[in-house]
Amino acid sequence: LQSKLPHVGTTIFSTMTQLALQHNAINLAQGFPDFGCPEELLELVTQAMHQGHNQYAPSTGLLALRQKISEKTQLMYGHLPHQDHEVTVTSGATEALFAAIAAVVQPGDEVLVVEPCYDSYVPAIELCGGVPVYASLTYPDFSIDWQQIEDKLTPKTRLLLLNSPHNPTGAVWQQQDLDALQRLAEKHSFLILSDEVYEHMVFDGKPHLSILSVPALAERAFVISSFGKTYHTTGWKVGYCIAPPALTAEFRKVHQYLTFSTATPFQHGLAGFLDNQKHYQQLPAFYQQKRDLFAQLLQPSKFELIPCAGTYFQLARYTAISDLPDVEFAQWLTKEAGVATIPISVFYHDQTDHRVVRFCFAKKEETLRAAAERLCRL
Ligand code: PMP
Ligand code: GLN
């Protein structure tokens, strides 16, 4: 059988979580919280199950949830997407990313991705016959080099895939990034796929700058978010896509045959909880406190931390500890030090190795303390 994805193996997230379990290591690798979601949200979901909301949801998503997503979007970004024509609920952001790519990428179309990038983007592009064109974030501050992006645009560029707050680096867009993107959009006809799943994790008093807050960009963009990140429920796999009507129509054609619809009781629960502004308004402070605690705990260690402006990931340079390549270092750290981490070379098509690993700090204080204690022994 000729593989359609010859370069793809098991994802680093499965691999490292498996290794962590095998060696009883503290898992700061795969990004997920080790604490629960709001109790009220749990109750709303279980209530929905007991009330019999256990059959297929409408393919586009429960109307009540789409309405709440529209309202929240207007509140946050001043953009009111129409619940019927511009909002689609999906089975996680992963499905939304795939559906958006499949909806618009024709065989031979170029899709510009900026590395390091989340690992589901490129396989999705390749499965659709698209050609990934790679740009890279600057090193070591991981900002976007807009000149490089412009140089890589061609008449074949169908889609520009962006992500902020950025996994794995923790970098976030500045106003100048949106300005630069707008200037490019005036000159070129690419569409935008904006992965904003960490929209509520931007620190130091800064706002998240969404593509949706710029009308000239929103009109050509799929903007994707995930309730898994915002509500500490990564296992529920509920996300959504906001896009103008023409893009949404194509998006939904794919979505209806990819999954058809998303788990019903979770949609009921989320629809009932989305008005709770307090939950997401306090999220930046909640995660900033974890970021700062983790950094403080690692102060005596030999890791050199790279500033984190958003997401729940902390990058750390380990060259004072080891000269192993990052994949080997991550394995060694899991087995020998008992802390699992993600090597970031896996987020580059050519395995660029900065000798940097990613720690997830979406963990209870006691988990972070226990991990830091082990890391400080090195
Ligand atoms: N994009 C990014 C940048 C992510 O970090 C994740 C979650 N790991 C996803 C998409 C996928 O989100 P979901 O779990 O909702 O499918
Ligand atoms: N997004 C999560 C991360 O970056 C993992 C998602 C997954 O396991 N596929 O760690």
Three-class secondary structure assignment of 44-67: HHHHHHHCCCCCCCCCCCCHHHHH
Distance 40 CA to ligand 1 centre (A): 24
Sheet containing 239-242, strands listed edge to edge, beginning at the edge strand earlier in sequence: 87-90, 239-242, 221-226, 191-195, 157-163, 110-115, 131-136
**Helices within 188-276 (DSSP H only):** 215-218, 227-230, 245-258, 264-273
Q: Is 234 in the pocket of ligand 1 (CB under 6 A)?
A: yes
Burial of 69 (0-12, 13-18, 19+ CB in 10 A): buried
Pick from 8, 11, 12, 13 the residue to mutate for probing ligand 2's pocket: most ligand atoms within 8 Å of its CB.
13
User: What is the per-residue pLDDT across 328-351, written as a single tens digit (0 to 9) for each?
Assistant: 999 999 999 999 999 999 999 999
225: CB partners within 8 A, 6+ apart:
93, 196, 197, 199, 239, 240, 242
Q: CA torsion 323→327→330→332, rounded to 10°?
A: -70
Q: Mean of the per-residue pLDDT values for the chain?
A: 98
Distance 317 CA to ligand 2 centre (A): 21
The pLDDT score that the predictor gives to residue 16 is 97
Q: Which residue's C-alpha comes closest to atom 1 of ligand 2? A: 31
Contact between residue 311 and residue 170 where contact means Cβ atoms under 8 Å apart? yes
Q: Quick check: pTM over 0.95?
A: yes
Segment 360-368 mean pLDDT: 98
Q: For residue 162, which ligand has an atom nearest its CA?
A: 1
Identify the three-state secondary structure at position 274. Answer: coil
Q: Is 91 in the pocket of ligand 1 (CB under 6 A)?
A: no
Q: For residue 114, which ligand has an atom nearest its CA?
A: 1
Cis peptide bond upstream of 116, omega within 30: yes
Start-end ranges of CATH 3.90.1150.10 in the chain?
12-30+282-376
Start-end ranges of CATH 3.40.640.10 in the chain?
39-276
User: What is the per-residue pLDDT across 111-123, written as a single tens digit (0 to 9) for each?
Assistant: 999 999 999 999 9
State the residue for tokens 């090597």: 343
Q: Which residue's C-alpha comes closest to atom 3 of ligand 1? A: 167
Q: Which residue's C-alpha comes closest to atom 2 of ligand 2? A: 31
Q: For residue 11, which ligand has an atom nearest its CA?
A: 2
Identify the three-state secondary structure at position 328. Answer: helix
Q: Is 31 in the pocket of ligand 2 (CB under 6 A)?
A: yes
d(CA 233, CA 37) in angstroms, rounded, equals 6
Q: For residue 193, which ligand has an atom nearest its CA?
A: 1
185: CB partners within 8 A, 6+ apart:
192, 216, 217, 220
Distance 63 CA to ligand 1 centre (A): 23
d(CA 271, CA 48) in angstroms, rounded, equals 11
The pLDDT score that the predictor gives to residue 27 is 98
User: What is the per-residue pLDDT across 142-189, written as a single tens digit (0 to 9) for each?
Assistant: 999 999 999 999 999 999 999 999 999 999 999 999 999 999 999 999
d(CA 334, CA 29) in angstroms, rounded, equals 9
User: What is the per-residue pLDDT across 204-261, written as a single tens digit (0 to 9) for each?
Assistant: 999 999 999 999 999 999 999 999 999 999 999 999 999 999 999 999 999 999 999 9
The pLDDT score that the predictor gives to residue 14 is 96
Q: Is 88 in the pocket of ligand 2 (CB under 6 A)?
A: no
Give the CATH fold of the 39-276 domain. Aspartate Aminotransferase; domain 2 (3.40.640)
Q: Is 286 in the pocket of ligand 2 (CB under 6 A)?
A: no
Cross-strand pairs, 315: 306, 358
ipTM for the predicted complex: 0.98
Q: Is 167 in the pocket of ligand 2 (CB under 6 A)?
A: yes
Matching CATH number, 12-30+282-376, of 3.90.1150.10, 2.60.40.3120, 3.40.50.620, 3.30.310.50: 3.90.1150.10
Q: Is 116 in the pocket of ligand 1 (CB under 6 A)?
A: no
Nearest ligand 1 atom to alpha carbon 30: 8
